[in-house]
Amino acid sequence: MWLELWLMGIAGLATGRYPFIGACIIGFAILIPILWFRRSSNDYQGRIGERQVASILSRLKRYPGEYFVFNNVLLQNEHHSSEIDHVVISRYGIFSIETKAYARAHITEDGRWFSGQDTDRARDLGDPLKQNRGHIKALRAVLGDAKYLSCVVLTRASLSGNVPSGVVTLESLNEVIRSHREIVLDESRVRSLVGELERVNKTDKNARREHIRRVQEKKRLAQAGDFIDE
């Protein structure tokens, strides 16, 4: 299809009869595959997933004073940074929420995540639950001891295999959060935690760029065999 559009554009320019139309056709032939690739990329789907989760979590505003939602939280110190997709602070605990936009996910008996059931051929997806444990560790370092709850939200995937506790769908996220009803934090502690997270959350662009640089460096070292994540 793209080749046909390209040839039509070239023909229009070569004959000189329809130069403007030919240039437009060539432009579309170049632009459409780029837009298609962008929409299908993991980064793009990840951003869409995070926006979907943020939209779902915004419905917790129906319960004023009960839930405080933070999106795209960045915690940083001299040596380490953690980017957490979503954090919900409530009287029932602190929820650390990791969003994954996998198209498919199969979880083996030993807790490994793959993009399909044929694990010899499927892509290893890593372990988002382990990733979220790292996020909770970072939250505890700045907020102190409390009841922390881990949620991994799959916005697209059809799950198969041994689905562990804490892995939820987009549709069930708020229901899972609302199912926790034991009060473990009083109102003054909740207000204190909200204020502290607002204070330590890095929102400036320079901090975001530094975090991306650190992540890319870790990936480079991991590929070289020089770095092992916690």
Beta strands in 30-186 (DSSP E): 67-76, 81-90, 93-100, 104-107, 113-114, 124-126, 148-154, 158-161, 167-169
**Rounded to whole angstroms, how far apart are CA atoms 68 and 56?**
13
Tokens of residue 48, six digits? 């869409």
- Exposure string over 95-110, b if 16+ CB within 10 A, otherwise e: bbbbbbbbebbbbeee
3-state secondary structure of 14: helix
Q: In what order do the strands lie in the sheet with 148-154?
A: 67-76, 81-90, 93-100, 148-154, 167-169
Angle (nearest 5°) at CA 178 between 154 and 50? 30
Task: Report the percentage of the chain scoring pLDDT > 70.
Answer: 71
- Has this prediction a pTM greater than 0.85? no
pLDDT digits (tens, 9 = 90+) for 86-115: 999 999 999 999 999 887 888 888 888 888
Residue 128's identity, in one-letter code, is: P
- pLDDT higher for 217 or 65? 65
pLDDT digits (tens, 9 = 90+) for 170-210: 999 999 999 999 999 999 999 999 999 999 998 887 766 77
Backbone angles phi, psi at 160, to 5 degrees: -145, 160
- pLDDT higher for 88 or 213? 88
Residues 6 or more apart whose CB falls under 8 angstroms from that of 132 comprise: 96, 97, 98, 150, 151, 152, 166
Residues 6 or more apart whose CB falls under 8 angstroms from that of 187 comprise: 65, 91
* β-sheet bridge partners, residue 187: none
Q: How far is the CA of 21 from the CAs of 1, 6, 106, in angstroms? A: 17, 12, 48
